[in-house]
């Protein structure tokens, strides 16, 4: 069996993300601390955080963004393009993603050809 590089760090990031999501409604500052830890673990081990996790963290305070609870989610029209805008309730930072109906906005990791090998 092949070993996954940085497996321990991935598990730690996963745990930090989950605990951050769990604690965010009661204590957003603690959640931001866990988010910060997750990102620094990834940086220290030179790993990429999975986009699904990364998109849920505020880019300024690293708090988990949940719709209606810790963030405002709006759909905006910019130059005839639809975009999803997240506004963090803790630090008011905004982040945006394109979300047009007809276009393929998937990132590389979400496409089927990105899967090289499945390790069980
Ligand atoms: Zn924030």
Does the residue 22 lie in any domain? Answer: yes
Tally of CB atoms within 10 A around 75? 9
Asked if residue 67 has pLDDT above 80, the reply is yes
Number of domains comprising the chain: 1
The better pLDDT of the pair 120, 114 is held by 114
Q: How far is the CA of 109 from the centre of ligand 1 (A)?
A: 25
Q: How far is the CA of 44 from the centre of ligand 1 (A)?
A: 22
Does the residue 1 lie in any domain? Answer: no
Quote the domain boundaries for residue 44. Answer: 7-102
Q: Is the pTM of this model over 0.85?
A: no
Does the residue 61 lie in any domain? Answer: yes
Give the model confidence (pLDDT) of 73-109 as tens digits: 999 988 888 899 999 998 999 999 888 877 777 888 7
Q: How far is the CA of 62 from the centre of ligand 1 (A)?
A: 6
Q: How far is the CA of 94 from the centre of ligand 1 (A)?
A: 8
The pLDDT value given to residue 1: 63
Does the residue 14 lie in any domain? Answer: yes
Q: How far is the CA of 92 from the centre of ligand 1 (A)?
A: 6
């Amino acid at each position: 069996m092949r070993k996954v590089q940085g497996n321990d760090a991935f598990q730690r990031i996963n745990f930090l993300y989950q605990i951050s999501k769990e604690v965010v409604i009661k204590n957003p500052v603690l959640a931001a601390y866990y988010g910060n830890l997750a990102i620094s673990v990834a940086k220290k081990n030179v790993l990429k955080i999975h986009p699904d996790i990364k998109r849920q963290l505020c880019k300024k305070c690293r708090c988990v963004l949940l719709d209606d609870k810790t963030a405002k989610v709006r759909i905006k029209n910019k130059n005839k393009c639809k975009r999803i805008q997240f506004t963090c309730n803790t630090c008011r930072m905004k982040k945006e993603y394109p979300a047009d109906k007809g276009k393929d906005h998937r990132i590389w990791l979400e496409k089927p050809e990105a899967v090289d090998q499945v390790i069980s």
